Amino acid sequence: MSVTEQKRPTTKRETWGSLRKLPSGRWQARYPAPDGEIYTARTDDDKPLTFLTKTDARTWLAGAHTKIARGDWQPPSAVAARRRAEAAADQARAVGFSEYSERWLAMIRTEPNRSGKKRAVGTVRSYQSKVTGYLVPEFENTPIRDIDEARIRVMTERLDKIPSPLNPRSKFNGVTRPVLIVLMMILRQAARDGITPAAPNVSIPRQEPVRHDADHDASEDVIAPEQVEALYAAAPPEWSIMVLLAAWCQLRRGECLGLQRRDVEWYPDGSATLHVRRQLNANTGDYTDLKSDAGKRSLSVPDLMVDRLREHLLSRVAPEAKAPLVPASPRGSMPLSNTRWGFIWGDVRDNVAGLPPRFRFHDLRHTGLTLFAQEGATLAELMRRGGHSDMRIVLRYQHATMTRDRELACRMSRRVEAAITSALPENGSSGAARDS
């Protein structure tokens, strides 16, 4: 017998399948599968499987036969693919909060929001500040699936103890609510990704005033026209137009700084229209789209500031169509930044006596819209003038429209009474006397 014949594997027939001894001395099992193919024994990872003894091989072969009889058999490649998928799912479910939050931030930078629009850079930065400033220090590498309602309550109690930077005496800090909103968004996305079976409930506190006490009346932030004039006089001449744009055109700060020469349309009668088309983003320092489509609007410039606006354009704004209406320097090509105006406004406000505590530049807009409401503007007209997309925000001016409503009701009452009195007989007897 030759050496080759001595090393040739020997095959042993079994009642089902077959066994053969390999040149290495180990045993291999083979069997017919339901799909008509002949398979050799393989591991659950779809790798070749051999046995030390014939008994071990026969035992494995019997197990494979039982699986086929029960209908539990699958091709080794399919079993291996399922195991790999299960292992990947287990690994994904074990992902820590810090790692997943980074993945979530990367996603929201590129994917559109529910309305189909790409999120603004400022919005993403705001979310990131909540993640890195509060959520990651709180949860670190805690697995996402281990963050439950009890764990969230612990964090909420800790957040509530942070004093408000705007008003240390306030019961609310303006931190807890936005941080919990971002956490809720992350956990809901984790549920959609299959990392958790369902997102735990995140109790979002109601929006409460922070700058003032809970009993603060929004009408207290409204100043008189003469105080607006005092702020205009106190501002540096090259930037004083900001006061008028906020108060009498009811613009937001970024909208004021985003205006360009081409946004002012003049008419033969000397009147003007202001077209609000963009904002100067406080986060990026660039021109960006407005927060909503409602922000894009055209406004009639009140007569009281038309001449001042014309003078500002002639003396302080460059002649190019895209020249900033509020430049950093006279006739400059760069707009004044949000940060620099913040410092200027602080000095302007401090130089005017009698203003409400913590009076903001944004309160000039509130003042203007309140006066606009007092002139009888409807809520729809207020929404258009202010560039609001949410009716609930405009309802704060309801007190102003009710004041106007009372004034008109009183005027109507006096007019009706006068008409009734003039129609009475000369003896002045009342209608009640005539009826009797």
The 8-class DSSP code of residue 329 comes to S
What number of CA atoms fall less than 13 Å from residue 24's CA on the CB side? 7
Q: How far is CA 39 from the centre of its chain?
A: 56
Residue 306: CB atoms within 10 Å = 15
Are the beta carbons of 28 and 22 closer than 8 angstroms?
yes
**Closest by Cα among 199, 160, 201 to 179:** 160
Which stretches of 40-144 are DSSP H helices?
Answer: 54-70, 76-93, 97-110, 121-130, 136-139
Torsion angle defined by CA atoms of residues 415, 418, 424 and 430, in that order, rounded to the nearest 10 degrees: 90
pLDDT recorded at residue 284: 80
Name all domains of the chain by residue range, CATH numbers in brackets: 3-82 (3.30.160), 99-192 (no CATH), 222-399 (1.10.443.10)
**Cβ-Cβ contacts under 8 Å for 31 (sequence gap 6 or more):** 16, 17, 18, 38, 39, 41, 61, 64, 65
**Cβ-Cβ contacts under 8 Å for 356 (sequence gap 6 or more):** 220, 221, 223, 363
- What residues pair up with 118 in beta bridges, in sequence order? 112
pLDDT recorded at residue 163: 79
Mark the ranges of the chain whose per-residue pLDDT is less than 50.
1-5, 427-436
Give dist(CA 389, CA 384) in Å, integer.
8
pLDDT recorded at residue 84: 85
Size of the chain, expressed as the number of residues it contains? 436
Are the beta carbons of 184 and 202 closer than 8 angstroms?
yes
pLDDT recorded at residue 134: 94
Sheet containing strand 18-21, edge to edge, reads 10-13, 18-21, 27-32, 38-40
Give dist(CA 297, CA 276) in Å, integer.
5
Token pair, residue 357, equals: 């505590």
Token pair, residue 131, equals: 């993640």
Are the beta carbons of 348 and 378 closer than 8 angstroms?
no
Are the beta carbons of 243 and 228 closer than 8 angstroms?
yes
pLDDT recorded at residue 53: 95
Q: Region of 109 please: left (phi>0), alpha (psi -120 to 50) or beta.
A: alpha
pLDDT recorded at residue 410: 85
- What residues pair up with 13 in beta bridges, in sequence order? 18
pLDDT recorded at residue 169: 66
**Cβ-Cβ contacts under 8 Å for 410 (sequence gap 6 or more):** none
Angle 26-30-35 (CA atoms, 0-180°, nearest 5)?
155
DSSP 29-58: EEEE-TTS-EEE-B-TTS-B--BSSHHHHH
**Cβ-Cβ contacts under 8 Å for 40 (sequence gap 6 or more):** 28, 29, 30, 48, 49
Q: How far is CA 229 from the centre of its chain?
A: 36
